[in-house]
Structure 1
């Protein structure tokens, strides 16, 4: 079996697991407990990923893959899936949407680390505000694009965006992002109800 270093709170791990669910690969993945942290390094993960970050996947052949984008592409290729278009404009649109979703997660995660991982006397509000500005910019762009989104997790870009919005619900409910993004809120209500999304909600 494949082995995946896993954390139920990670939006990047969730992206990989939603992909696995959609491709019918969950029964081929063994989930390994981990405690990824920006300061306190988990050496169990470092065996597979020298950066000690999740997700990190070890294939049956012993190859070590890390970064959710690489792992999702591997799973899609393994299953001969179509979550990542192989060519043409559809490919670049899918990958750009994945970058938008991942970028939203990156910014939200950096803002959270400022509060949760840095001692109070060393916290920099300006830094956190700058990250949240990126979050709001990403949400505005999603609102502009969302009319063209499928309500099914049939594309890795949409999976990334869905997992990013789920992360905001989990860690930044104070932002109340739905208030100013009604089209995105309506889309996400349908998208997040899909079994692959429901089975992977952070907790």
Structure 2
């Protein structure tokens, strides 16, 4: 989404991380997504590092130049990325273990972290009036992932955040089509 918003051409390649495909692990020894290959073949990995790289090459199209506004955008990016981390921990606990070995206290802990982050975003989601920034994109991408893996669970009790996502999709259909889907 960030590359599309910044007007940077890109090719998206879908991989199954658990299969450790050569094209992924040769670029990122951690075997994690997202991983970006620059035009000269250099890898950039981790969402925040990729976002900063795209911001630099786009001439600051992803983050405000004003220090206070940039800090706000980075704060939204950080809470969205942290939320994605705890959601992945939750998903992998179920996906990688036999049912009888799933550690429910771990799942409960991760979900409590997710709920706190979602509640914070519900209280004060990033404003959609004005220029779109990396914080908006990170929040939208994470909510898109939540819709894919936890549909119907994250929205309860969070009407502002649910409306925010609907409004983001209405205002930015070209970006919304890049959100995760089955």
Larger displacement relative to structure 2 (125-134 or 179-188) = 179-188
Shift of 1:190: 0.7
* 2:86 counterpart residue number: 107
In the alignment, which of 118, 136, 140 is matched to residue 158 of structure 1?
Answer: 136
Matched residues in 2 for 1:110 and 1:153: separation?
A: 32
Describe the superposition over 1:23-74 as per-residue Cα deviations: whole angstroms up to 9, x where unpaired: 112xx3233342212xx43332111111111111121222211111111211
In the alignment, which of 16, 26, 34 is matched to residue 35 of structure 1?
Answer: 16
Shift of 1:201: 2.6
In the alignment, which of 174, 177, 181 is matched to residue 196 of structure 1?
Answer: 174
The structure 1 segments of at least 4 consecutive aligned residues displaced by more than 6 Å after TM superposition are none
- Contact kept? 2:5, 2:175, Cα under 8 Å: no
Unpaired runs of at least 5, structure 2:
none
Which structure is higher in RCO with an 8 Å CA cutoff and minimum separation 6?
1
User: How many matched pairs?
Assistant: 180
CA RMSD of aligned residues (A): 1.9
More strand by share: 1
**Is structure 2 residue 144 aligned with structure 1 residue 170?**
no
- Contact kept? 1:97, 1:161, Cα under 8 Å: yes
- TM-score normalized by the length of structure 2: 0.90
Describe the superposition over 1:75-122 as per-residue Cα deviations: whole angstroms up to 9, x where unpaired: 121121332124511121111110101111111111111111222232
**Is structure 2 residue 116 aligned with structure 1 residue 142?**
no
Matched residues in 1 for 2:160 and 2:36: separation?
A: 35
Matched residues in 1 for 2:138 and 2:12: separation?
A: 20
